[in-house]
Amino acid sequence: MRVAGLLLAAGASRRMGRNKALVELGGEPLVRRAARAGLEAGLAPLLVVLGHEPEPIREALAGLAFLEVPNPRHALGMSTSLDAGAAAVPAEADAALVLLADMPLVDAVLVAAVIARAESTAAPLVTARYGGVTAPPTLYARALFPELRGGEGEGRGREVVRRHAGEAAYVERPAEALADVDREEDLERVRALLAGPQ
């Protein structure tokens, strides 16, 4: 199974007040951490959707193998990045796995587990489930790409997951493993989780 990666890194991070994709964790920008997780799990090609502040994102990813996908409509919401990314997946890919730049606890092991679940079940959609809450990484078979296209605002990916819940497969994770960095306090919580018991 050939799985392309779609790393969505076009947003303006309004709640954070600075570009969260460039926030460093363990000396590494979050966007690079996400890209590395995808590449180490075997995603090929890795498509990175850029919009807001593309140049520093490019710099943060220097030396990694990725293809840039511009999203001129990024100000209209994350669904436009999903649209741009799905349109850019090469024809030889059987599926695309969506990664977000602001989920630093998603590592190569989890990405690989999602791919393996797709291969073993032939489910058209495989996603992580954190104590009952579904969230990326999410793998969409090519047959679902038309449902990822078009639209504005947020939530297109979640809609597709909801629509196909009955035929989806899941990789179970503990609830505390779900962490997206929207605010400074989220970053501190992730740092504490990664540091482990004191």
Percentage of the residues of the chain whose pLDDT score is greater than 70 = 96
Give mean pLDDT, residues 17-27.
87
What's the CATH fold of domain 3-195? Spore Coat Polysaccharide Biosynthesis Protein SpsA; Chain A (3.90.550)
Give mean pLDDT, residues 84-89.
97
Q: What is the pLDDT of residues 36-77, one digit of tens each?
A: 999 999 999 999 999 999 999 999 999 999 999 999 999 999
pLDDT at 168: 98
pLDDT at 65: 98
In angstroms, the Cα distances linking 195 to 24, 46, 106, 130 are 15, 29, 16, 20
pLDDT at 29: 96
DSSP H helices, the chain, are: 30-40, 54-60, 78-88, 108-121, 145-148, 156-163, 184-195
Is the predicted pLDDT of residue 198 greater than 60, yes or no? no
pTM summary value: 0.94
Q: Is the dihedral of CA 160, 166, 171, 173 positive or negative?
A: positive
Give mean pLDDT, residues 13-40.
89
pLDDT at 112: 98
**Rounded distance between C-alpha atoms, residue 95 and residue 115, angstroms:** 9
Using CB atoms within 10 Å of the CB of residue 161, give its burial: 0 to 12 exposed, 13 to 18 middle, 19+ buried.
buried
First to last CA, the chain: 42
pLDDT at 138: 98
pLDDT at 155: 81
Give mean pLDDT, residues 124-146.
97
Q: What is the pLDDT of residues 89-128, one digit of tens each?
A: 999 999 999 999 999 999 999 999 999 999 999 999 999 9
pLDDT at 13: 67
**Nearby residues of 96 by Cβ (< 8 Å), 6 or more positions away:** 3, 4, 5, 6, 85, 86, 89, 139, 140, 142, 145
Is the predicted pLDDT of residue 32 greater than 60, yes or no? yes
pLDDT at 197: 67
**Rounded distance between C-alpha atoms, residue 191 and residue 85, angstroms:** 30
Percentage of the residues of the chain whose pLDDT score is greater than 90 = 78
